[in-house]
Chains A and B, each alone.
Chain A
Amino acid sequence: MKDTPLKSMLFKHFWAQRFFVQAEVDIFPVGGVSRTRKAITDIDVYALRPSRALTFERVLGDCKTLKSQSPVQRALWVAGLMRLLDAHGGIIMLTAPGGIEQDHKLTADELGITLLSVEDFPTFDRALLPPLGSSGVTVEPSDIEKIHGVHNHFPALYPLCEYLTSTAWQEPTFGALIRHVLGILRSLKGEFDPKRTEHEALLCDTAAVFAVGLAECAGRVFNQYLHPAKKTELADSLKALLWGGRESYEAYQSIRAKLVASRGFRADLSDEDPGLPEWNGFVQVVRQYLETPATAFHVPWLLRAYAVTLLKGESFNSIPLTRSDLHLLKLAMFTLDYVCRAAGVPKEFADLVTYPLIQAQSQFALAPAAAVPTVELPAQDPFQIKLF
């Protein structure tokens, strides 16, 4: 595909800023009526950018080798897509042999879109990520595709892979994301084998997607309560947030009770068991997140990076981290531990997947002066893109 190098450049630009990013995300109609679900379009590079308001902002990346379309027409198309997905920004990177007119760029800017040519991109990249830009990033969009392609060898895992590839990106709320990730994982818990590195990688990437919801949840709680003094305050708030309000939560509990009764059992449902697995563990993880809520928004990036290293057979140390990431490592460790327990996968997974995170924390705590070696830059100019 001719656009692949462009997608790779944009992907790396987002990745270097620790956005949670994925390429070629299919978009489906919300609340569609057709019996077969069909994608209406796809987004070349979809990124979640941590914001100061402790939320994720959606940023859409579009990469095109233009032939018959003008740049501003492309910008208008992306603007429509941004509106559909409630995105905060867009970047369009084009190979435009005729160049891009300034007025097209201005118009795009008014729509919240940055319009760049391939020639513009290195300057843009290096200015935002001084001094060398994102060329040193070694993770490719295809690395994420490989994780989501695990179902090719393990077909039973298809529902999870499909969910991570597209559906997760269109969940309407973080509560839905959290519940559905755990729900799908638990339905497939019997498929996970700790001896399979692919399963480890998939589990870590699933935890990454889960962490997107968790970070937003913690951000919302922090903005309301900072650090809730009582556990019941936090727990009650979480129930309302996860289920879309007190009324929805109560309706859900009522349905739960009826389901239990319909099987001939007595429903002894207490408010301390709202139905999310390992509820107390979840409350504790959220409370840990509240200590450094801004850091929480980098956990998805770290867990995905970890998943990539697993599948590529690389060391965890290849992820560019420093001593100032101690909190980040700790939150990632708590998240992975919780997901493994809540998912009900074999117990060995928790120790297996958290081990490198624990070792990294120890290394950084003991050697403050020694940073993890950063990834080496390639010798050639990475922006000499060969399109043909």
Chain B
Amino acid sequence: MVLGTIVEKLGLGVKTAPRDLTSEVTGAYVSDLLSDVMANSKEGNLWVTLQVHPNIVAVATLKDLSGIILVNGRQPAEETLKKAEEEQIPLMTTGLPTFQLVGKLYNLIGEC
């Protein structure tokens, strides 16, 4: 499923400058621990996290993730947003907590 469809279906806010969200999402990785994401996420994964620290963009870039969803109403730090624009990593937000957002996402894209 392409990222744009997920954004639309889950009603996510897109924080980074609008561009076509056509990258293919290969699944999701859900974690708030950067080392865990570094070690275990896969290319094309959509990352769901509470972390808003600029380092999340660095991790997403290194692991070629398809985007980052910030949950529970978190807003990206200014520096984080700037880096995301530079690295062209789509940053999205939702007011839902992890459990519910992931539940809905799972219903959309299933196991992976």
A, B bound: no
Write the residues of chain A forming the contact surface with B, with a CB cutoff of 8 angstroms: none
Write the residues of chain B forming the contact surface with A, with a CB cutoff of 8 angstroms: none
